[in-house]
């Protein structure tokens, strides 16, 4: 791997991927319009070559892809709630934007694409742990658009000889992840906890999630590219905890006592989540290294030391 493009490299996962690639001596380009990512995430990475703009801009995408041998495609409209409120925008970015990336990859002879997918493609789960062949019945426009992106990537792989790995992320958290209203539960809870505001738990709090640290997700991206992996792969910790237990852990690592209130379940949310990660382990040697307690402690420390406030 000589030169890699990271779309969405200003996001918290993308910036971790870019840093890891630089550490391995790879020339890194980042394409991002910073609508959800942050320029501050890339300030510690001065060697990154920047392309400032939107993946819906086909000409810009083509320019950014030129001379790259690997693309890490992370740019996306993310989240079930935002997709329910803005489904057309979700599809434009996640489907048409992905087509722009794939067409540029085809034109410029890119050898490998690592596509960031989501466990949202599965919808309500029928069995645990979730294998890659679990039925896919997404319950939100976001899940549908990420599944469409997967299918497009895999089709281009077959048609044009690209190696394509589709990494299905579960609940990712970690350094560089800032609070926003559509964000995942950990940044929302940590922000509110530090700000001494009540935490809202939807449903009874006994729903389970498989949380994986952004460092492990970045490692999975790099390993998949190095191995020329092809096909869909779960990327998760392979363990699950309840939301109630998550609150207990956050209280423990922060030293703060949360105030908790409950609200009805949200549309598009699944009840339970737990991944089988044996396929990614066998294909490219993925093994999570960050324990949840350690990752939460580092994340709380980072949030306290960073202006990680809402826009």
In order of 121, 235, 257, the CA distances from 166 in angstroms are 12, 10, 39
Which of these, 243, 278, 249, lies nearest to 263 by C-alpha position? 243
Residue 61 near residue 104 (C-beta atoms within 8 A): yes
* Residue 253 half-sphere exposure toward CB, CA atoms < 13 A: 22
Residue 141 near residue 83 (C-beta atoms within 8 A): yes
Annotated catalytic residue within 38, 142, 156, 179? 142
Distance CA(193)–CA(79), nearest Å, equals 22
Query: Is 142 tagged catalytic?
Result: yes
Residue 30 near residue 67 (C-beta atoms within 8 A): no
Q: Quote the radius of gyration of the chain (alpha carbons, Å).
A: 18
List, by residue number, the catalytic residues.
Answer: 142
């Amino acid at each position: 791997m000589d030169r890699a493009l990271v779309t969405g490299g200003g996001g918290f996962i993308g910036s971790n991927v870019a840093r890891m690639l630089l550490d391995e001596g790879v020339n890194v380009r980042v394409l991002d319009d910073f609508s959800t990512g942050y320029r501050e995430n890339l300030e510690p990475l001065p060697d990154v070559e920047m392309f400032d703009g939107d993946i819906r801009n086909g000409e810009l995408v083509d320019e950014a892809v030129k001379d790259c041998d690997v693309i890490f495609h992370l740019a996306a409209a993310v989240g079930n709630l935002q997709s329910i409120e803005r489904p057309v925008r979700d599809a434009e970015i996640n489907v048409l934007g992905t087509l722009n990336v794939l067409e540029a990859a085809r034109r410029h002879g890119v050898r490998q694409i690592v596509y960031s997918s989501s466990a949202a493609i599965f919808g309500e789960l029928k069995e645990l742990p979730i294998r890659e062949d679990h039925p896919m019945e997404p319950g939100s426009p976001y899940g549908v658009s990420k599944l469409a992106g997967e299918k497009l990537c895999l089709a281009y792989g077959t048609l044009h000889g690209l190696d394509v790995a589709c990494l299905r992320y579960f609940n990712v958290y970690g350094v560089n992840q800032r609070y926003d209203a559509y964000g995942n539960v950990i940044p929302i809870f940590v922000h509110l906890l530090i700000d001494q505001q009540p935490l809202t738990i939807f449903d009874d709090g006994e729903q389970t999630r498989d949380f994986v640290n952004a460092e492990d997700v970045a490692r999975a991206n790099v390993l998949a590219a190095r191995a020329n992996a092809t096909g869909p792969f779960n990327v998760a910790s392979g363990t699950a905890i309840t939301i109630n237990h998550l609150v207990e852990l956050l209280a423990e690592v922060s030293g703060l006592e949360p105030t908790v209130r409950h609200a009805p379940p949200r549309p598009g949310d699944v009840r339970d989540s737990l991944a089988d990660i044996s396929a990614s382990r066998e294909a490219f040697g993925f093994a999570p290294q960050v324990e949840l307690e350690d990752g939460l402690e580092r994340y709380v420390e980072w949030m306290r030391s960073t202006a990680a406030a809402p826009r």
